[in-house]
Each structure stands twice: as C-alpha cells, then as structure tokens.
Chain A
Amino acid sequence: MLEIKNLHAAIDGKDILKGIDLVVPKGQVHAIMGPNGSGKSTLSYVLAGREEYEITDGTITLNDKDFTAMAPEERAAAGMFLAFQYPIEIPGVQTTTFLKTSVNAIRKQNGQPEMDALTFLKTLKAKAEKLGVSDEMLKRPLNVGFSGGEKKRMEILQMAMLEPSFAVLDETDSGLDIDALKIVSEGVNALRGPDRSFLVITHYQRLLDYIVPDVVHVLAGGRIIKTGGPELAKELESTGYADVIEAA
C-alpha cells in the first residue's frame, strides 16, 4: 500500500506539489489525470526519489516503509518502479547488460542470490516476446535511437523483469500506436494482482478502457482537486478540466 501524506515538493526553489494526500491500497489501480504542468511527473519523480526535488513537507510510505529519505536504488529494491514519461537514452550501455545489472542489483539489496545467466536470458526472452521487443533492440544501447513507442515498451519490459510491488506509469500511452497500446496494456494487466498496485498517469480515457482503474484523481496546481470512479475519466474527456478546476 502506498500512502502519501500532505506532500509538498519544490524544485529550484519553486513549489510544485502543494499538499498531496493519496492512498493506493494493495491490488488497486489509481489513475491520475490533470492539465499540463500540474505536477504529475513531479509526483512520479518524487516517488522514485529524484534528488533534485526537495520534499519540503509530508511523508511517503510504501508497505509501511518510510520512503521520504530513501535513495532511488533503495526505493527500487523496496518495490517502487517508475515508467518514465521520457525514458533516458544511455549510449554505451547495452540493454540486456543493463537489465541484468538492474535485476541482480535489486536481488542483491534484498539478500537474494544473483539470477543465473540462463534463467535470466530465458525470462527476458519470454517477456520481451510478449511485449513485441525484438532481440535486436535488446542488443542495442539502452533506448538509443529507439522510437517513442519502442521506448515505452522497453519501460514496461523493465517493469515486467523487476516485478515491483508499486508501479507509476507516467504517460506510458503517449507515443504508442493503437496495437502497441493494446500490447502494453495487456502487459500491465498481466502484472495486476492482489499484491501489486499502480498509479497510472495519463491524458487519455482510451488507456483506461484497457487498464480499468479502481479510482481516478484529478491533479491541478499541485493538489488533488477531485477523486472519483472510472466514470470521472469519461466525464473529463467530454468536459475538459476547466469546470472541475473552477468547482474546486
């Protein structure tokens, strides 16, 4: 379970998150929608532990662990995963090598033995195939020259390999074609289960047709201004944010 209490965060002295309270129980999918610049990606970075953001007030706990002062790698080992809105290209680091390093780094932090090379490759191959990630992509440097959609698939493949207990998907649907949207959603749905929860950030109702959320929140001006069921997303799709923001 993820619990965020009165979270305030700033970057370069500018307040972006201004008091967020949010609880995502185990097994649930929550969606966050909201206008550009409202702080959605900021929230995702703060959850993953990006150090440029300063938490000026409030707390984050995941499965009763206080995340607020933890390093990004410790958070990852404790089950946090962020699928980036803009995945980073890392020249010179081969994708497969990276994935293996990542899987084993997390296992090591959790006191587990390294995954042996054969099991790793088998697991990777099976999961990559399901997500339509080619062998050739796995041999290339991480994200370098990948198309927008390929990068998003790679994020979901990483999530599938790391099996986090909490995943934030920041606009994973943007840049995906219709078929890819389906494939990626299936990938996410396959991971849904009683011990795993998701925070899905999106601008489009369409994604939520595939990944049906339990709860939808609207984030504006660094605060959650409205919370509802899946129907809220449909409502926003037809009315836009203006009415909701005004009413808040």
Chain B
Amino acid sequence: MMTLPTRYRPESAHGFLQNPTDGAQWRSEALAQLKARGIPSPKLERWRYTNLAGFEKANAVPAQKPELSFNPITLPWMVQNSRKLVFANGYLVFGDARLTLGGHLLEVPYDADPMEKFNDGMLWALNTAFMQDGPYLNLHEDATIEIIHVGLGHDHPQLASPRTVIEIAAGLNATIIEQYIADGAGVVHTNAALEIEVAANANLKHIRIQDEGYTRTILSSTHARIARGATYEHSFLNIGGALSRQEFWMELLEEGAHAAVKGAQLVTGRQHMDTTVLIEHAAANCTSNQTIRNVLAGDAVGVFQGKIHVHKIAQKTDGYQLCNTVMLSDRASMNTKPELEIYADDVKCSHGNTVGALDDAPLFYLRSRGIPEAEARRMMLTAFIGDLFDALDDNIKDALNKRVAQWLDHGIV
C-alpha cells in the first residue's frame, strides 16, 4: 500500500490542527504543550550535547514587526532572476505577499506531526505558538526563490518565529535559497520551523546559509516529506550564532525517493553549533545521504547527531552517512552520535566519522614547495570542504565557497 504524505490525505488531519481556521485554538494548544513539557533540557537523550538554558533565561519576547533601515537590493542575493523575499524578525518586509503565509495564516493546514515525534515537539510548538508570517511556497511551476531572513537586534531580546511552508508539485524542479543574516546591535533569537513536501518525481534543492552573527541563539526544525521518485537535497553552510541547533526530520514515504543533507559547520570562538538529523526510510528502494564537514577552532563546540531509521517495509534501502571534523584547536570539542535503527533485512547502510587535526604530511609537502604555512593550511581546509557544494549551480556554489574562503581568511578567532 502506498503511504501518501499526510497533507494529501484530508482524513488524516490530526490533533489541534483539525480545524485550521481556528487560529486561537491551535496556538493555545501549542502553548499548552509547550508549558507542559518546557524548553528541551539536556536530560533528554536528543539534547544531551546542547543546552538551551541560556536561551530560556534570556526571556525573549515575541518579535514585533521592525522597520527596515536598508535597501533590500543591497542584500547578498545569489541568483539574478530569482523571486526574492525578505523577512525581518519573521515578518515580510520585501517581496510578493502572495508568496507568504501572512495573508492566509489561518487557512494553511499546518503540519502537526513534529509536535508528536520530532525534536521532542517543543521547538515546533514554540514556533507554532508565536509564528506570524513566513514563506508559503506552493509551487506549480519550476522556480528559483531566494529568501533572506534578517535578524534585527533589539535592546531587550526578541524571538523571531518564522514559519516556512514549501509544497512542490509533482515533477517540478525548484531551488530555494535561504539566508539568515544579522543586522544591528542587540539581540533577536530565531526559532524557525519549516514544513516541506516534495510530490512525486519533483526535485527540490534547498540551500541554507546561517550567518547570523555571533551573539544569538538560532534554532530551526525542518520536516520534509518526500514522495515517489522525488528528491530533496538540503545543502547548508553554518557560520553564525552563539548557540545554534538545526534539526531535520526527513521522511522518505514512497519508493524511489531520495533525501540528502550536505553541509559544513564552521565553528570558532565560544560558539556552539549542532546539526541533528533523522532520516526515516518508510518505503522500499529509497536512498539517503548525510555528508557533514566541521571545522572547529578556538573553544568551539560542535555537535552532529545523525540517525537512519529503516522501517520494516523499506527493503533495498541505501543509507549513507559520513561526518568529518578538522580540529584547529585542542580546546575545541566535537560530539558525534551516529545511529542506525534498522528493521528491514535487505538494506545497505553505512556511517563513518573522523575527527582530527590537519595532517602533517600534506602540510609539509605544500610548505616544501614554498607555500607559507598559513596558506598551506587554508588550501587544505578549502580542500576539506571541497566538493560539498559541487552539485549546485555555479553561482550558488561559488557564493558558498567564497563565504567559506572568507571565514578561513578572517573568521577564525
């Protein structure tokens, strides 16, 4: 039997989202859930390495719509003819309002599954309780869409709660680029939630750059549901945040679906950066790929938790996971937790994990050819990030690699 994405089955609308027009109700249920369970604590298995106590203590208030003090045209857009949206602290400040939740916030059938099963529900519930706006990309033609989220700092910490809903119709090719950047002094924390559905044989390339300064908490939960023969490829480059955690829950729901999460965490100073992935193989003949590369400097802390869950019916699963970390400082630390949970018997799953300093031998080889040590290191680190973004269009790939180069040249503290 086919398992269709929940969104396609009206009879399966669940919980407090049963009646999506009743905004007050789903908000208050999310709040009730949040109050009952609280902000995730390190006592929870999935939160062992990341502590949100500081975020909770900051006592941020829900963000208000801010004034934009600059021209959105000056933002670091990557693709010339893309459709462009700018959100500030979770509110639309530039772009076509028809591509946002704003106008029909109460009509969209929100995804409530994560409240039950994902990141222990709390961050999803927190977003549901306070979201006001966000991209609503219900695509029926091929498109490239760029979204820039600007965090405009405030004297008293605020919390931005952008909600993103992406639905790609069958057979389409879409590219969505999201950038999270900071503006102004002061603090605004972000707790984003993204619900993504990729219908049969569609391809979605989702690129996310998190470059939001070094003082903020940046949380995001991405729930992707992928149908027959469809692909969802998520590429990320994480640079910013005092504390950040991005979580993915990718469900491969029908045969031939493919999910990938490939990205780099560049962590320095006293930053804490966490990527946590759950890939669920819920149908046969699906493939998944997790390729994570971390560079840690200073007193930084890195986390990668990656789980492949293969259901009993998911025969011929091909699941791949590799996490490589280069440590530039012996004060930095990396926590890695790979997990395989396999109930089918005919599957191919692999995971690997390396952590170490840059190799001496190639470093010496480059230096023996006259290349100064700093440049030799930079060459090796560039090579380490290497092919991560190679499958992306040239202008996107170049922008990402350029940002990596900037970090290697000036970002390490």
A residues adjacent to B (C-beta < 8 A): 48-52, 71-73, 75-77, 81-82, 84, 87-93, 98, 101-103, 105-106, 109, 141, 158, 162
Contact = CB atoms under 8 A, between A and B. Distances in A.
Given A92-B384, A93-B379, A73 B367 contact: yes
Contact of A106 (B362, B370, B373): B370
B356 interface: no
Nearest to B384: A92
B380 interface: yes
Contacts of A91: 383, 386
Interface of B (DSSP majority class) = helix
Interface of B: 360-362, 364-373, 375-376, 379-380, 382-384, 386-387
Contact of A102 (B371, B380, B382): B371
A52 B360 contact: yes
A101 B371 contact: yes
A106 B367 CA distance: 10
A87 B365 CA distance: 8
A50 B364 contact: yes
A158 B384 contact: no
Contacts of A89: 362
A76 B369 contact: yes
Contacts of A77: 370
Contacts of B372: 73, 105, 109
B369 A158 contact: yes
Contact of B365 (A52, A71, A90, A92): A90
Given A50-B364, A90-B366, A93-B383, 16 more contacts: A52-B360, A71-B373, A73-B371, A76-B368, A91-B383, A92-B382, A92-B386, A93-B379, A93-B380, A98-B366, A101-B371, A102-B366, A102-B369, A102-B371, A158-B369, A162-B369
B213 to A, nearest CB: 29
A89 B382 CA distance: 15
Contact of B364 (A72, A102, A106, A158): A72
A84 B367 CA distance: 13
Contact of A48 (B362, B368, B384): B368
Contacts of B382: 92
Query: Which of B368, B376, B380 has the most chain A CB within a 10 Å cutoff?
Result: B368
Nearest to A86: B361
Nearest to B383: A92
B368 A49 contact: yes
Which of A48, A72, A91 gathers most chain B CB within 10 Å?
A: A72
12 contacts: A48-B364, A49-B367, A49-B368, A72-B368, A73-B376, A77-B370, A87-B365, A90-B380, A93-B380, A98-B366, A101-B379, A102-B366
A72 B383 contact: no
A15 B366 CA distance: 26
A72 B371 CA distance: 9
Contacts of B387: 92
Contact of A90 (B360, B375, B383): B383
Given A91-B383, A93-B379, A105 B364 contact: no
Nearest to A88: B365
A163 B366 CA distance: 16
Contacts of A98: 366, 369, 379
Contacts of B366: 90, 98, 102
Tell me which of B368, B370, B372 has the highest count of chain A C-beta atoms within 10 A of its own C-beta.
Answer: B370
Nearest to A91: B383
Most central of A49, A52, A89, A93 by chain B CB within 10 Å: A93
Please provide the 8 A-B residue pairs with the shortest distance between their CB atoms, ordered closest to farther.
Answer: A92-B383, A76-B370, A106-B370, A72-B367, A92-B386, A102-B369, A88-B365, A105-B370
Given A88-B362, A92-B386, A92-B387, A73 B380 contact: no
Nearest to A94: B383
A90 to B, nearest CB: 5
B371 A51 contact: no
A102 B370 contact: yes
